[in-house]
């Protein structure tokens, strides 16, 4: 089962996103900030990471930058999932190494379509 790391400081968002990816066939793992997400990635590199932007301790951008430097860190598909919805935010996320971008609020169809686009659904 492919693993999906859900990184968000909101417990509710983590829970909702985890449920969505579980129903799409992924094993979800949750982290409440970028630091914890990096620790989780060191133990077990995820196949997909769904990442919030603004979080305490380490934000989403810094997490993705660090993740991409790690051995095997170029492999995970990274999808930002954030309330930041200006063009410059999206461009910055893509420049940092994100593969896709979801603007909150989101639903299961949006997550499904992004994963389909990225070829992550079997």
Partner 1 sequence: MQPDDFDFLARLLKERSGLVLTKDKGYLVENRLTPVVRQRRYKSMMELVGALKTGEQALAEAVVEAMMAKDTGFFRDWKPFEHFRNRVLPNLLTARKTKHSFRILCAGVSTGQEAYSLAMILDGLGHALAGWQAEIVGIDLSPVALTVATAGLYSQFEVQRGLPVRTLLKHF
Residues binding partner 1 (CB under 8 A) = 85, 87, 90-91, 94, 100-103, 105-107, 109-110, 113-114, 116-117
Please state the closest distance from residue 98 (CB atom) to partner 1, in A.
9
For partner 1, the closer of residues 40 and 102 by Cβ is 102
Beta strands in the chain, from DSSP E residues, in sequence order: 3-7, 27-31, 48-51, 77-82, 100-103
Q: Which helix (H) or strand (E) covers residue 120, if one does? A: none
For partner 1, the closer of residues 10 and 85 by Cβ is 85
Please state the closest distance from residue 24 (CB atom) to partner 1, in A.
14
For partner 1, the closer of residues 45 and 110 by Cβ is 110
The whole-angstrom separation of Cα 116 and Cα 50 is 14
The whole-angstrom separation of Cα 70 and Cα 25 is 26
């Amino acid at each position: 089962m492919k693993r999906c790391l859900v990184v968000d400081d909101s417990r509710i968002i983590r829970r909702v996103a985890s449920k969505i990816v579980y129903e799409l066939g992924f094993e979800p793992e949750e982290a409440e900030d970028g630091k914890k997400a990096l620790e989780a990635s060191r133990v077990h590199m995820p196949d997909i990471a769904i990442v919030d932007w603004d979080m305490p301790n380490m934000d989403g951008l810094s997490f993705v930058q660090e993740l991409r430097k790690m051995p095997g860190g170029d492999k995970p598909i990274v999808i930002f999932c954030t309330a930041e919805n200006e063009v410059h935010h999206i461009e910055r996320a893509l420049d940092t190494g994100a593969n896709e971008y979801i603007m909150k609020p989101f639903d299961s169809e949006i997550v499904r379509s992004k994963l389909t686009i990225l070829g992550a659904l079997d």
